[in-house]
Amino acid sequence: MDILDFLFGWLEKTDPKAIVLGFSAIGAGFAMMAGIGPGIGQGFAAGKAAEAVGNNPKGGKQATLVMLLGAAVAETSGIFSLVVAIIMLFANPLVGRMGTSIGGTNAVGTALILAACALGAGLAMIAGIGPGIGQGYAAGKGSEAVGKRPKLQSTVLRTMLLGQAVAQTTGIYALIIALLLLFVNVFA
Amino acid sequence: MIDGRALILACSAIGAGLAMIAGIGPGIGQGFAAGKGAEAVGRQPGAQADVIRTMLLGAAVAETTGIYGLIVAIILLFANPLISTYEKGL
């Protein structure tokens, strides 16, 4: 009994649909790990905003607005991951693709590939940790700056949002790869 | 019997997902740059254009490893070299 039989023999004896759905569950779980990022980032932003309000209560309203705006941007990575997870749980696109043969393989092979696509999609969404942390840091520094000089709110906001947009890019790449894996037959 | 092709393609899908995890880095780093940029503009609003230019230049450098990860993932999905190696050997 060679190593492939040992590692994957159970796959042939299992219902292909169960394989795909089982790995979709694991993928959904991995995707939600992205929640780490916004948690850290928004927490930092909250702390910096609280500090800013404490230092200058007169600028409190502007500092709080900047914090909430920046925190909303940081939240997006968590939402993307939640959407991917909910799609995999409630509107699983992979079971629909099980009829076709992927990469010219048999039914078990197709199920294996689709299961791996679910796993890969979930793993890709872990990238959301990064923008969550980074954009939250930017939100914190932005509200700190606005707390010090509330009149500069729009200038600081513009710079902060520009930087946050750049930081978002890798999260979007990961979302694209995840959606490709779920919905598109990438393997010719 | 698990087809060799199926195993390679399945592992390629997992590998593509793992490659995208590299996106964590630029996300954190470019966010830090954005924060420091906002702080600098708050201190010297007149220097906004210079600050933004420097910030974007540094962010572009930080983006590179994220792009490398994306390239590897796209290669694995759309131009899989391992399948051709496998089939050449058969």
DSSP string for chain A: --HHHHHHHHHHHS-HHHHHHHHHHHHHHHHHGGGHHHHHHHHHHHHHHHHHHHH-GGGHHHHHHHHHHHHHHHHHHHHHHHHHHHHHHHS-STGGGGGSPSTT--HHHHHHHHHHHHHHHHHHGGGGHHHHHHHHHHHHHHHHHHHH-GGGHHHHHHHHHHHHHHHHHHHHHHHHHHHHHHHS----
Question: Which of B20, B51, B71 is the best mutation test for A, with the most CBs of A within 10 A?
Answer: B20
C-beta separation of B72 from B19 below 8 A: yes
Q: Where are the domains of chain A?
A: 15-183
Stretch A159-179: mean pLDDT: 96
pLDDT at A1: 64
pLDDT at A4: 74
pLDDT at A8: 77
Q: Where are the domains of chain B?
A: 25-89
Contact A134 B31 (CB under 8 A): yes
pLDDT at A7: 79
Q: Give yes or no for residue A25 having a pLDDT over 90.
A: yes
Stretch A157-164: mean pLDDT: 96
Measure CB to CB from residue A126 to each of B21, B38, B78 and give the nearest one.
B21
Residue A142 with chain B: CB contacts under 8 Å = 35, 38-39, 42
Q: Under CATH, what is the fold of the domain B25-89?
A: F1FO ATP Synthase (1.20.20)
Stretch A101-105: mean pLDDT: 82
pLDDT digits (tens, 9 = 90+) for A26-77: 999 999 999 999 999 999 999 999 999 999 999 999 999 999 999 999 999 9
pLDDT digits (tens, 9 = 90+) for B23-41: 999 999 999 999 999 999 9
Nearest to B30 by CA among A49, A144, A130: A130
User: How far is the C-alpha of B63 from the C-alpha of B25, rounded, in Å?
Assistant: 9
A15-183 has CATH 3.40.50.1110 classification: no
> At A171, is the pLDDT very low, low, confident or very high (cuts 50, 70, 90)?
very high
Measure CB to CB from residue B35 to each of A106, A124, A142 and give the nearest one.
A142
